[in-house]
Structure 1
């Protein structure tokens, strides 16, 4: 069996675009040329990789298996290129990060701004993803590293803890719950909630908790970001659950109160996840260290 890296990269482009035309465009090929190469590739493998449909293409089971291997191979090729780039081991390359809502909105912007300083050859792709998608992306090679929180029970990943993520109840000043120092999550569900958007990891996590106790989350409004959530809470629209670091910051400028949660799951460990730290390019290793250093320096304990 013989195939070249161009075949693998084209296959990945088509799979990610769910379209032969879209994949061809990304590979800078005509659709006809891409179709010919894919058919030849399928012939060499002896397996059909895509179901052709009127709306595009869909991976076959064989195609899904190949995508995992193809991403791993191409990611490793990119690592080699990065390590031998003209800028040196840690000054150039491309790093893709899948992270949860808290990481994307709260601390990764500061970490990345500092990390990218003086690295003109470095590019970053930071994407907000749900927890399971973060794990799957790192395992499948779709992302170089993930940033998440909570109890990580999944094989095939190296987990590098770096701080604690505490969830707290945020209420407007004068609210009934504000008289409490600590409260059970279930006792907050009698009040309307200000929640984050559907794609946020925090909202999905809270929905899982209410499902576990046989309740529903009484969402009154959903917003994008912790600051808009705190503004809605301040205005009396509802209560919300946020990372303590965010709540403390916005409490300085908004009329909101913080109540601790007594539930064990409210304290979650934040961690970077990678497939294998030793196999990462120097640039990605440097970024992982930058995340750890940032939190040690500023004593982030949220």
Structure 2
């Protein structure tokens, strides 16, 4: 017969109270029910644990040796139950999220702070990667949720929330585009461009938008990271096109951010999870927080 939590708790209560009556009151049990629990525990151990008479109850030598071990087991099991309940209720746990670097460097820190106010015991594991890698990490269950860019076509992914991120042009203050009131498609097509590398969600939007122009494109360089693109623009290599929410677009005082007067320069963004998978309660809470702060 296996030991169970209630029987161990009964033994500890009787040992501390020195009385079945007082222990039963403490445990909100009838005395016969408590007696059954102690007898069941003695059968599981294979030894008498209490000496009883009409006046008092005392631990046997075996009972005295077992008491500290059972107290520790009781404490450990109660701790496991508390931790399990906290996980189930979303009061602790790990949020594993993959997200676009744009999001990781802009909105995410504030969302984490808000989440920690609600759930101080939350821990975050962040993977800031390009959209294709976000999708792969979610699909392979290396993370639980992802914030990705572009249209989500993967049938293994379920979209929890969608939105859009407008793209803007970034150029030096001395650049001719900095003096224009409006920047159109042809303005960009005629300028040397610093574009993020192929395979990024921003580049996919830019390529689709610029494909409408008949002008041959002058692509000066194709960095992977937005901060590198900004540095290239600062050096005078060309104009870059980045999400308006990216902190990188305002990282340099000598650069100008210009809205693009064309509807195609908008990137779709989405919160995704693997289809058919139940999110941990703590992650569900974070998704709700992301929706509120979208």
Alignment TM-score > 0.5, same fold: yes
Q: Tell me, which stretches of 5 or more residues in structure 2 are unaligned? A: 1-80
Measured against aligned partners, the alpha-carbon deviations of 1:180-236 in whole angstroms (never above 9, x if no partner) come to 51411x65244333455789653576568779989666234748445x654653564
Q: Which residue of 2 aligns with 1:285?
A: 284
Q: Which residue of 1 aligns with 2:71?
A: none
Equivalent residues, number: 212
> What CA RMSD, in Å, does the superposition of the two structures yield over aligned residues?
3.8
- What's the offset of the Cα at 1:120? 4.0
Alpha-carbon distance in 2 for matches of 1:117, 1:103 = 20
Q: Which residue of 1 aligns with 2:159?
A: 159
- What's the offset of the Cα at 1:147? 0.1
Q: Which residue of 2 aligns with 1:121?
A: 121
- What's the offset of the Cα at 1:245? 3.1
Q: Is the radius of gyration larger for structure 1 or structure 2?
A: 2
Instruction: Report which stretch shifted further, 246-255 or 109-118.
Output: 246-255
- What's the offset of the Cα at 1:251? 8.7
Distance 1:199 1:95, change over 3 A: farther
Q: Which residue of 2 aligns with 1:84?
A: 84
Do residues 171 (structure 1) and 171 (structure 2) align?
Answer: yes
Q: Which residue of 2 aligns with 1:273?
A: 272
- What's the offset of the Cα at 1:269? 2.7
Report the 3-state secondary structure (helix = DSSP H, G, I; strand = E; otherwise coil) of the residue aligned with 1:84.
Answer: helix
Alpha-carbon distance in 2 for matches of 1:151, 1:83 = 39
Q: Normalising by structure 2, report the TM-score.
A: 0.58
Alpha-carbon distance in 1 for matches of 2:147, 2:130 = 11
Alpha-carbon distance in 1 for matches of 2:238, 2:247 = 15
Alpha-carbon distance in 1 for matches of 2:86, 2:190 = 60
Q: Which residue of 2 aligns with 1:144?
A: 144
Distance 1:191 1:152, change over 3 A: same
Do residues 183 (structure 1) and 184 (structure 2) align?
Answer: yes
Alpha-carbon distance in 2 for matches of 1:205, 1:88 = 40
Report the 3-state secondary structure (helix = DSSP H, G, I; strand = E; otherwise coil) of the residue aligned with 2:153.
Answer: coil
Distance 1:144 1:278, change over 3 A: closer
Measured against aligned partners, the alpha-carbon deviations of 1:53-90 in whole angstroms (never above 9, x if no partner) come to xxxxxxxxxxxxxxxxxxxxxxxxxxxx9983446621
Alpha-carbon distance in 2 for matches of 1:188, 1:182 = 7
- What's the offset of the Cα at 1:257? 3.8
- What's the offset of the Cα at 1:275? 2.1
Q: Tell me, which stretches of 5 or more residues in structure 1 are unaligned? A: 1-80, 296-302
8 A contact 1:183–1:261 mirrored in 2? yes
Report the 3-state secondary structure (helix = DSSP H, G, I; strand = E; otherwise coil) of the residue aligned with 1:286.
Answer: helix
- What's the offset of the Cα at 1:134? 1.9
Alpha-carbon distance in 2 for matches of 1:107, 1:82 = 32
Alpha-carbon distance in 1 for matches of 2:157, 2:240 = 32
Instruction: Report which stretch shifted further, 169-178 or 135-144.
Output: 169-178
The 5-angstrom pairing of residues 200-239 of structure 1 reads: 201-203=201-203, 206=206, 218-220=219-221, 222=223, 224-226=225-227, 229-230=229-230, 233=233, 236-239=236-239
8 A contact 1:83–1:89 mirrored in 2? no
Instruction: Report which stretch shifted further, 90-99 or 195-204.
Output: 195-204
